[in-house]
Amino acid sequence: MKFNVSQVKPGIYHIKEAAVHFDLIVGEKKALLWDTGYGIDELMPLIRSLTDKELIVCNSHGHIDHVGGNYAFEKVLIPLGAVAEAVMMTSHALRSLGVKRILDGGDVPHHDYSKVIYEDLNESMVFDLGGRTARFISIPGHTRHDLALWIEEDRCLLTADALNYVMWLYFSDGMKQSTVVRSLTKLVDLEPEFILASHRHSPLDAQFLTMMRDKIKTLRRADFNFAHLDAFTLRRDDLVEYHTTIQHKRVSIVFRDDAFDLEEKEGR
């Protein structure tokens, strides 16, 4: 399995590894790696074939398909609240379940993650990459700790798992519909020119983002059916799902059954 690299514009690479994408943003002085994939193939040779700049490595959240390549780096920035999940997801026990499934039962490469030093990544941080400025936006929804990356000069928004054709919005207890709407509104307000998402090879546009936000805002519990989804082999029966079409694409939205909090407000 090899990486599939797409240069979206000069110095912005959207890189596919198995079922996920991560991104490399190269400025005149530094480069920023946004997520590290599953950690199946060797990451450093790929990065060094694209840039020799000093590298800042960031994780959008702690899921297995976003932190798997962390072993290749001494320091990784990640929202503090997601560190425990990242450590758990890079344990051999969980990799041998979650990554094995992606490899259709093939051997999961062993990596040593014990030397990775995690440091906090949050909304107050700004990186000047040289001609490109990296900012971070806290967008609880997919998980409580999700961050988006905003490259101002390119009006490029990187949403990781927070905006996709399948919206999995159920990973954190107590996450509400209004929280997701607030998070997506923060992104809508940026007026991005294009959006790179972790499970889409082609960029999404601002209209898709706005339509998704508006759809989630108007959804009510009665629109959903019970879903029996398998999240990293953890079967849960408190999930509901809804299918719709946005921009002629089939879209799924998965919520926890207790996430609906906009209905009451509407009734007043």
In the complex, the residues that contact Zn ion under the rule CB under 5 A are: 63, 161
Residue nearest to Zn ion (CB): 63
CB of 140 to Zn ion, least distance (A): 13
Closer residue to Zn ion in complex, CB, 31/169: 169
Closer residue to Zn ion in complex, CB, 17/161: 161
Residue 6: phi and psi, rounded to 5, are -120, 120
CB of 72 to Zn ion, least distance (A): 20
By residue count, the chain amounts to 268
What's the start-to-end Cα distance of the chain, in Å? 54
CB of 10 to Zn ion, least distance (A): 29
**How many CA atoms lie less than 13 Å away from 152 in the CB half-sphere?**
12
CB of 217 to Zn ion, least distance (A): 22
Closest CA to 95 of 73, 110, 116, 74: 110
Closer residue to Zn ion in complex, CB, 67/134: 67
Q: Could you identify the residue written with the tokens 């994780």? A: 59
Closer residue to Zn ion in complex, CB, 8/166: 166
Closer residue to Zn ion in complex, CB, 156/169: 169
Closer residue to Zn ion in complex, CB, 154/161: 161
CB of 117 to Zn ion, least distance (A): 22
CB of 142 to Zn ion, least distance (A): 6
Cα 202-19-239 angle, rounded to 5 deg: 100
